[in-house]
Amino acid sequence: MSVADRLQALGIELPSVTPPLAVYRPAVRSGNLVIVSGQVAIKDGALLYPGKLGDAVSVEQGQEAARACAVNALAAAHSLLGALDGVRVLRTIGYVASTPDFLQHPAVVNGASELFRDVLGEEHGVGARCAFGVAALPMDSPVEVEVMLEVQS
């Protein structure tokens, strides 16, 4: 099944790439590597669940926000490459804006990891991963996700 078929089966339409908020590119390619810049939790032009995990944002809302970040990351890669077939996740990094006592960062970032797995398949969608807690993220996003991809020939 192609990536486009999986996206359609999951009811996911890749959005237009959000213009950069500063001086950077949404995604860059070097050889067979694609590095996607950090994507915040924007869906349908609006920020999902502004605030921090452990305060105003629940783990479930954080997972939904991470999923939106992952969709935006795939959109950035698709915009650069023209298609997502043959793309493999090498590494996902998830940043979770949270209170100092919040400890469920990995559970939140699972929202992104599960989306990559569901869209790209178990073999290509699951890679290495880090999940960090941070004091704040751009636009008061609860989550930001960046990803390194490999383009296989």
**Position 42 in a domain:** yes
Q: Tens digits of per-residue pLDDT, 137-148?
A: 999 999 999 999
pLDDT tens digits, residue range 44-100?
Answer: 999 999 999 999 999 999 999 999 999 999 999 999 999 999 999 999 999 999 999
What is the helix (H) or strand (E) element at residue 113, kind and residue range? Answer: helix 105-120
Has residue 68 been placed in a domain?
yes
What confidence score (pLDDT) does residue 73 get?
A: 98
Let me know if 153 is exposed, middle or buried by CB neighbors in 10 A (0-12, 13-18, 19+).
exposed
Q: Is residue 75 part of a domain?
A: yes
pLDDT > 80? residue 1: yes
Compute how many other C-beta atoms are within 10 angstroms of the C-beta atom of residue 148: 16
Total domains present in the chain: 1
Only one residue has tokens 């930001």, namely 144
Q: Note whether residue 21 is domain-resident.
A: no
The pLDDT of residue 21:
77
- Is 124 within a domain? yes
| pLDDT of 42 over the 90 cut | yes
Question: In this predicted structure, what is the pLDDT of residue 110?
Answer: 98
**What pLDDT sits at residue 19?**
82
Per-residue pLDDT, 128:
98
- Give CA torsion, residues 32, 65, 121, 150, to 10 deg: 10
pLDDT value at position 84? 97
Asked if the structure places residue 72 within a domain, the reply is yes
Q: Mean pLDDT score of the chain, rounded to an integer?
A: 96
Confidence grade of residue 12 (pLDDT, cut at 50, 70, 90): very high
Determine the pLDDT at residue 83. Answer: 95
- Residue 106: domain span: 3-15+27-151
SS3 content of the chain, % helix, strand, coil (to 5): 35, 30, 35
**Residue 94 within any structural domain of the chain:** yes
Q: Check which CATH number belongs to the domain holding 72 and give it.
A: 3.30.1330.40
